[in-house]
Amino acid sequence: MNFLNRIVALDRRWVFLFLFVVVSMAYLLRNYFSVDITVTKEVKSIYDFIEKRNEGDKLLISFDYDPSSLAELHPMSRAIMLHCFRRGIRVVAVTLSQYGAGMVEEILREVAAEAKEAYGVDPQYGRDYCFVGYRPYPAMVILGMGENFRVFFPRDYYDTPLDSIPLMQGVRNYDDVNAVIGITSGTTADFWIVYGNARYDMPLALGVTGVMATDYYPYLGNAIFGLIGGWKGAAEYEKLIDRSADANAGMPAQVVAHLTIVLFIMIGNIGYLLSRKSTNAVS
């Protein structure tokens, strides 16, 4: 009875201490743990889509986030691009975020190098991937690209005319890429759905931050064929391509944290229900 009451009214600092210790341990000892992540359908469908493509097929990836959301969205960007490069899928990169251009240029170069090291494929700029740069007014740009990429991007980020880039020859609009993947941290995700998919009906998948993900579930199966949400989604994708990286490094900590919170909630409820029962019995 006394014990139960104590659990029900446990000082929250015990929760803090426990969480602090287990989560930081799980993170610091991340190399000694591996977490078996369940892959969700919405992530698997993106993987399957890329897996079923033929070598030389093309994807448009739009990196619509800026460095402030880099920590959350870079892992999934990396994983998807690595998968593309491994399978020989060409990547057309664009950013609709004002501060995104420098960041995208950097990650493209890094992932190309990583793919070379990991799979020995050596993706080349202009042949296997290219970056067309940034234009303001995302809604307009998404509409314009439905007509022709050249409306807003006559030249790529390095000022080469698109038609001089082998990869872009004959690529006019969404009809000439197999799918669009929008990795976004804001309203651009809505624009991709409303102005991209609704008007031009191209296959669309989204990668979004964890907080945003719930808002886009309703579009699964009609407007978008896949959805990756935050670290968890990225970790699932890393698992699918069998290459554990940043997202997986954080997963033990995530799992342990969720488990801790769930356990505390359960203990609290058991204590609450039992103590209520015993007070009922007394009265």
Q: Which residues bind other proteins (CB under 8 A)?
A: 10, 12-13, 15-16, 19-20, 23-24, 27-28, 35-38, 40-42, 71-72, 122, 124, 126-127, 139-140, 144, 147-148, 150-151, 154, 161-164, 166, 172, 209-211, 213-215, 217-222, 230-232, 250, 253-255, 257-262, 264-265, 268-269, 272-273
- List, in order, residues 6 or more apart from 223 with CB less than 8 Å away: 193, 197, 198, 204
182 vs 279: CA distance, rounded Å: 56
User: Token pair for residue 249?
Assistant: 């490094």
Select 134 or 191, whichever has its Cβ closest to other proteins: 191
CB of 165 to other proteins, least distance (A): 10
CB of 258 to other proteins, least distance (A): 4
Nearer to other proteins, 146 or 182 (CB): 146
Interacting residues of 236 by C-beta distance below 8 A, sequence separation 6+: 37, 38, 39, 40, 43, 44, 228
Cβ burial 214-230 (10 Å sphere, 16+ → b, else e)? eebeebbeebbbbbbbb
Nearer CB in complex with other proteins: 39/101: 39
Minimum distance, C-beta of residue 139 to other proteins, in the bound complex (Å): 7
Contact (Cβ atoms closer than 8 angstroms) between residue 182 and residue 204: yes
- Closest distance to other proteins from the beta carbon of 182 (Å): 18
Residue 206 CB, nearest approach to other proteins (Å): 14
Cα gap 7→80, rounded to integer Å: 46
